[in-house]
Structure 1
Amino acid sequence: MTRRILLINGPNLNLLGKREPHIYGSTKLADVETQARSQASSLGAELETFQSNHEGAIVDRIQEAAGWGPNAPADDDGTAAPGKKASAIIINPGALTHTSVAVRDALLGVAIPFVEVHVSNVHAREPFRKHSYLSDKAVAVICGMGVYGYTAAIEFAARHLKVEEEEE
């Protein structure tokens, strides 16, 4: 069984490396994604990446990770294509962290374990950034480690899934 990890980045993360480098660093999202794919492969997992500035597109992609949604890969009978479902989701929801019940509901609805990642330490920033609609349901939350947080999340997801597979 191939472990599949979906890495989702929300609004404004396409500007990583350009936007407020004193907070988010100078590494571009494309570089994060390239390194993440390589790391996942070395851990025996496949990694797919997705970024959108639109809440609805992120909700659709979460549903597709479970084989649902308007663009999910399907068999001829319309059911989810076997082997195409994500085993885990790593999500940096950006500002949607603090506002999106829709993303929360999508993650809960698909019942795929997820890791919440933030490049900055959201707890050391403006008060509104301290609340997350996702953290209480995440398997793990990583923040304040810069883009290394993605590395830690992939390592955790790949190793955690490996343990689960061995128990089955």
Structure 2
Amino acid sequence: MKKLIIINGPNLNLLGKREPEIYGNQTFKDYFESLKHHFEGIELEYYQSNIEGELINKLHEIGFSYNGIILNAGAYTHTSIGIGDAIASIKTPVIEVHISNTYSREEFRHKSFIAPNAKGIVIGFGLQSYELAIRSLL
């Protein structure tokens, strides 16, 4: 059985409340339950932290034993060389995910420190971006 994890970074714990015009009205908890139901044949886990070092620690912890990581590092995507380096240091493939189209937003969101070390990127398809990333790993 494939073992995948979704890792969300800062402020993504506020999905459903935060800027619904960009991120929608559904909580990630509710969406994650629907993903688990849709992908019953895989072991799917979820982790979220607002703290950069905790995200790096999680990548180190699972980066040699899981079949795939779906990572939405939020704003850390555009600022964290450390998260980019952590991805380069592990063996598990990482798919970078963004709910919004980061290229249609502020210019600082056009640079990713994750992308050079990711297997692929899915951006701009709302919460469905996570489903597309899972499918890419199966």
Bucket of the pairwise TM-score, normalised by the shorter protein: over 0.9
Measure the CA separation in 2 of the matches of 1:35 and 1:26: 15
1:60 maps to 57
For 1:37 and 1:102, locate their aligned partners in 2 and report how far apart those are by CA, in whole Å: 30
Out of 87, 90, 94, the position equivalent to 1:107 is 87
**Between Structure 1 and Structure 2, how many residues are aligned?**
138
Is 1:19 aligned with 2:14? no
d(CA) in 1 for partners of 2:38, 2:136: 12
TM-score (norm 2): 0.95
Structure 1 residue aligned with 2:4: 5
**Bigger CA radius of gyration:** 1
Instruction: Provide, for residues 40-99 of structure 1, a one-character-per-residue CA deviation record: whole Å limited to 9, x for no partner.
Output: 32xx211110000001111111111036xxxxxxxxxxxxxxxxx211100000000001
Residues 137 and 66 of structure 1, relative CA distance in 2, 3 Å threshold: closer
CA distance in 2, matches of 1:7, 1:103: 15
Counterpart position of 2:47: 50
For 1:14 and 1:118, the matched residues in 2 are separated by 14
**Which residue type is aligned with residue 60 of structure 1?**
N
Identity %: 41
Letter in 2 for 1:117: V
Report if the CA contact (8 A) 1:10-1:54 is conserved.
yes
Q: Could you tell me which amino acid in structure 2 is paired with residue 101 of structure 1?
A: I
Q: What TM-score results when the alignment is normalised by the length of structure 1?
A: 0.79
Alpha-carbon distance between aligned partners in 2 of 1:97 and 1:5, rounded to the nearest angstrom: 20
Listed as ranges, the gaps of 5+ residues in structure 1 are 68-84, 159-168
User: Following the alignment from structure 1 to structure 2, what is the Cα–Cα distance between the partners of residues 109 and 130?
Assistant: 24
Q: Which runs of 5+ in 2 are unaligned?
A: none
Q: Secondary structure at the residue paired with 1:19?
A: coil
Question: Counterparts of 1:53 and 1:32 in 2: how far apart (Å)?
Answer: 19
Aligned to 2:29: 30
Q: What residue in structure 2 maps to residue 150 of structure 1?
A: 130
Tell me the equivalent position of 2:105: 125
Quote the offset at 1:32 in angstroms.
2.0
Q: Contact 1:118–1:149 at 8 Å: present in 2 too?
A: yes
Could you tell which deviates more after superposition, 141-150 or 104-113? 104-113
